Amino acid sequence: MQVDQSKLEAFQGKMLGDMGAAISAALVILGDQLGLYKAMADGGPTTSLKLAAATGTTERYVREWLAAQAASGYVEYDPVKAEFSLTPEQAMVFADEGGPAFMAGGFEVLAAMFRDEPKVAAVFKSGKGLGWHEHDVCLFRGTERFFRPGYNAHLTTEWIPALDGMEGKLKSGARVADVGCGHGASTVLMAKTYPNSKFYGFDYHGPSIERAREAAKEAGVEDRVTFEVASAKDFNGGAYDMIAIFDALHDMGDPVGAAKHIRESLAPDGSWLLVEPFANDDLADNLNPFGRIFYSASTMICTPASLSQEVGMGLGAQAGEKRLRQVAEDAGFTHFKRATETPFNLVFDVRP
């Protein structure tokens, strides 16, 4: 096999860029955890000395970190004044945790993937699964912080309004279950937006439920939110007006069984709000930056989680609408409609 030298050099260049992105991930985590980005969020120019003083860190380390950030294009550098700053856009991505564009938290998910690589390598050989609860703890916090901005941007302003008649029910008073709620970011947001409704969050992971309860108390919505440890196939309290699953169905070993339980737990005119990572039905159409992220996360986290459970369907994070529709139909649902979408998510209105 003859090697085309120009193609080789181009591919090496691509790999150099990929290595730079990968190694920068650890520095993003440092900047996030040490408060370096937040200290630069006002956009004013700073130096390593000033930033170190503002964050209680050591100047020599901060100097090197700033240089790496500038080389990555994550902060701006003025070579004349030897000063660094964040643009408004960079500040939204790295420092505005409550905003719709925040991404720094997602790097904790990447950290979990590296830390858990030996465990995943083992199941590659054994064929067994790796449960969500068996991952490094930074996965749980990172997942919440990665998905929360999308919920803040779209859940109550676009996704719920796209469900026929549902927003009116929530405003007047409805019963809602959030299945696979994790740390409760989506549940708490809905409770804040619709104070006349009651919300019930369920997750099989006990520590996540504990954190969700804390989050509800911090947000002042504990009077209308209840969190309980339960799986998608055995949560209770039926006749819900809406049941939601956000980016979690594909993690389940038996999504059809979960969907059947959801159908049985819905009020006659209720709706299952199903949100999944955006994916086309054909693999070739997912070979893009979004697919790169989702297939990688699915390899390390989602598929092992599913294979660790009964049935072990292994939908994967890029299931696509056709396979998701089949799950719903196999569970007895007759109405399956794509209500809306974002570049990151497919949003379905599923009804009996």
What's the mean pLDDT in 178-186?
98
On the CB side of 97, how many CA atoms lie within 13 Å of its CA? Answer: 11
Question: How large is the average pLDDT for residues 137-160?
Answer: 96
Confidence of residue 334 (pLDDT cuts 50, 70, 90): very high
42-82 confidence digits (pLDDT tens): 989 999 999 999 999 999 999 999 999 999 999 999 999 99
Asked if pLDDT for residue 225 goes beyond 90, the answer is yes
> Quick check: 1 pLDDT over 90?
no
pLDDT confidence of residue 342: 96
Stretch 91-113: mean pLDDT, rounded? Answer: 95
Q: What angle do CA 230, 297, 116 make, to 5 degrees?
A: 80
Q: Mean pLDDT, the chain, as a whole number?
A: 97
pLDDT band of residue 237 (cuts 50, 70, 90) is confident
In this prediction, residue 238 has a pLDDT band, given cuts at 50, 70 and 90, of confident
Q: What is the reported pLDDT for 256?
A: 98
Task: Determine the Cα–Cα distance for residues 196 and 257; give it in Å rounded to an integer.
Answer: 31
pTM comes to: 0.95
Identify the DSSP state of 161: T
Question: Is pLDDT of 115 > 90?
Answer: yes
Query: Average pLDDT in the 278-306 region?
Result: 98
**DSSP readout, 44-85?**
--B-HHHHHHHHT--HHHHHHHHHHHHHHTSSEEETTTTEEE
| Helix or strand (DSSP H, E) at 153 | helix 138-154
Q: Are 340 and 329 in contact (CB under 8 A)?
A: no
Residues 151-155, mean pLDDT to the nearest whole number: 96
* pLDDT tens digits along 129-141: 999 999 999 999 9
